[in-house]
Chain A
Amino acid sequence: MSCPPKKIKLEQNTDNQFYPVLSEEFTEPTPMIDVYIDTVTDPRNISKVVVELNTVLPLPELTHLKRIKGKDVLLFPCNKDTAPDMVCEILKKNNFDISYLKNNVRTMSVAEIAPKTRKQYEVVHKLWPCNFHSNKYVEKLCTNTLFSASEIESHVNYMQVAIDIARFSKDPLSIAGVVVVDPKINSIVAVGFDKRIDNPCQHAVMVAIDNVALTQNGGAWQQVNARLDNQASLDLRGIPDDILDVLKKKYRNLRFGATKFKGKCEIETPSDGPYLCTGYYVYVTREPCVMCAMGLIHSRAKRVFYGTKSENGALGSLCKIHTVKDLNHHYEVFAGLLEDGCKKLKQK
């Protein structure tokens, strides 16, 4: 028969196989709805029937669906009050000339909403023709083909740094490391490691968020260290001195520091200047908990990458905080980055 598929994937570095954690609207099958259909007696009348039906029985909630499939025509959605034998009556009541139809009413399952991905489209389109507006970005996310090889390498490097940071964690039972990166200047803005043994809220992510605040003349947990060098082009206050020394030695090609904070009066355009974690990427060795995940929403992070799943994780395991519709900000989440290295941290 056909050749077995080539096992290309096995030859790739599995560490690079991180994947987007998407909202269910992209990963789950399209929700379906039952509708009544009938067959047109004379195919020459099809366009007349469609025009008539769209006039007397328009379906504003189902505009993504074509009204016709071959000789079959979509009448209206089924509901509790309309048994199949009442369909004719309803059509008549709406002044539709039922002599166009074979009076062969059947129910049919069709897409309740427009499909969001090509994969969903291909499934529902077979059942009943429907419109689909492909979104290139969404397709890249869904097929996990968003990043170029050099971008992947960059994500891997930053997660490697997060793994190194995690080793500074104070409690051997809760080890986690965070690196916050400004992708605009490709620089490490701040880091964080777990300190919950000192303070129950000082999870690595919350510590990193506060360290970002240090670079913006804020912060609540740390004394602002005096290292602000007015000559330096970047603000290094988000990285503790001892860690910065270690990282600079190990990673000679990486950049460190945040774009200098501008006070409100210095900001000329709204998108100018750092504001919280706006535009920043956050690399976390393990999936953030609900508190941390929401802290990153409040902070307006742009993307969150994590290594290994957590039992109490809020970005895929327990829930997906980043996909909650009613929130005013959403970030993208990618999981499984350097998963093995991050897992080993946990077991230590």
Chain B
Amino acid sequence: MLQSATETVNEDKQNPTSVNDNLTELQQKFMETAFNFAYNALAVQEVPVGCIFVYNNEILASGRNTVNETHNATRHAEINCIDEVNNFCRSKNLDVKKIFSEIDVYVTVEPCIMCAAALYDLHVRSIIFGCKNDRFGGQTVFNVASVLNPVTEVKNGYRAEEAMNLLKEFYKGTNPSAPLDKVKV
């Protein structure tokens, strides 16, 4: 992981589409909120990924991983946010499809293959993520876009090193609910 973290940083410096320098102040504020959720996840021994869904410049959903809490390995921050937006739309009788298509996703770590597929299928407008996900990433490990041809715009690189350090911090400890031989090393 150490090695790939350095790679990520180097790549982002060379990458002209990196959002490091061109995130607006408001976007940086949204990312800050996502990071708060990631720190919160680390504090409760969940994989430190934080995520917010923004609609019309307002935060519609926010969340973190709850895999250990729910004993369900699919409860990633993004899936929790999708649930929240879905509930919101239904309670307000809004068009779920339309709302999702205008959502911008801010997430500290590259969405995994599962979450990338879920977000692409919902046609979310954009995804801005921090660091790459070299275990499960929906671009890095398997490029989901190559099979789903998404309309979603994807950017990355903002506070990547910090997001990666959070992950490293987590994996230094052990996953509290996994039996010993299942703990990720």
Contact of B72 among A210, A267, A289, A328 (CB under 8 A): A210
Q: Which one of A8-16, A53-61, A198-206 is at the B interface?
A: A198-206
Known contacts A200-B121, A201-B83, A327-B141; A295 and B114 CB within 8 A of each other: yes
A272 to B179, CA, bound (A): 8
Name the interface residues of A281-328: CB closer than 8 Å to any CB of B: 289-291, 294-295, 297-300, 312, 314, 318-319, 321, 324, 326-328
Asked if A298 contacts B86 (CB within 8 A), the reply is no
How many whole Å from B68's CB to the nearest CB in chain A? 9
> Can you show 9 pairs from A to B with CB atoms below 8 A apart?
A199-B86, A201-B86, A210-B72, A213-B71, A220-B66, A294-B114, A298-B73, A298-B112, A298-B136
Contact of A326 among B71, B141, B147 (CB under 8 A): B141
The answer to the question of B75 belonging to the interface, with a C-beta cut-off of 8 Å to chain A, is yes
Q: What DSSP secondary structure best describes chain A's contact surface?
A: loop
Number of A residues whose C-beta is below 8 Å from B? Answer: 41
The answer to the question of A270 belonging to the interface, with a C-beta cut-off of 8 Å to chain B, is yes
Asked if B136 contacts A327 (CB within 8 A), the reply is yes
* In the complex, chain B residues whose CB is within 8 Å of the CB of A324: 113, 141-142
How many whole Å from A329's CB to the nearest CB in chain B? 10
Known contacts A200-B121, A220-B75, A328-B184; A290 and B144 CB within 8 A of each other: yes
Asked if A290 contacts B113 (CB within 8 A), the reply is yes
A321 to B144, CA, bound (A): 10
The answer to the question of A275 belonging to the interface, with a C-beta cut-off of 8 Å to chain B, is yes
Asked if B73 contacts A299 (CB within 8 A), the reply is yes
The answer to the question of B180 belonging to the interface, with a C-beta cut-off of 8 Å to chain A, is yes
Asked if A291 contacts B182 (CB within 8 A), the reply is no
Measured CB to CB, the nearest residue on chain A to B73 is A298
Asked if A220 contacts B72 (CB within 8 A), the reply is yes
* In the complex, chain A residues whose CB is within 8 Å of the CB of B71: 213, 216-219, 276
A206 to B75, CA, bound (A): 10
Max chain A Cβ within 10 angstroms of own Cβ: one of B73, B96, B141, B180: B73
Name the interface residues of A184-230: CB closer than 8 Å to any CB of B: 199-201, 206, 209-210, 212-213, 216-221
* A-to-B contact residues, CB < 8 Å: 199-201, 206, 209-210, 212-213, 216-221, 264, 267, 270-273, 275-276, 278, 289-291, 294-295, 297-300, 312, 314, 318-319, 321, 324, 326-328
Max chain A Cβ within 10 angstroms of own Cβ: one of B118, B136, B147, B184: B118
A297 to B74, CA, bound (A): 9
Contact of A291 among B96, B118, B176, B178 (CB under 8 A): B118
Q: Which size bracket describes the interface of B in this complex?
A: 35 or more
Contact of B70 among A218, A273, A289 (CB under 8 A): A218
How many whole Å from B82's CB to the nearest CB in chain A? 6
Contact of A199 among B70, B74, B83 (CB under 8 A): B83
Measured CB to CB, the nearest residue on chain A to B176 is A264
Known contacts A220-B70, A319-B142; A278 and B182 CB within 8 A of each other: yes
Known contacts A270-B181, A278-B182, A327-B136; A321 and B73 CB within 8 A of each other: no
* In the complex, chain A residues whose CB is within 8 Å of the CB of B136: 294, 298, 327
Asked if B83 contacts A220 (CB within 8 A), the reply is yes
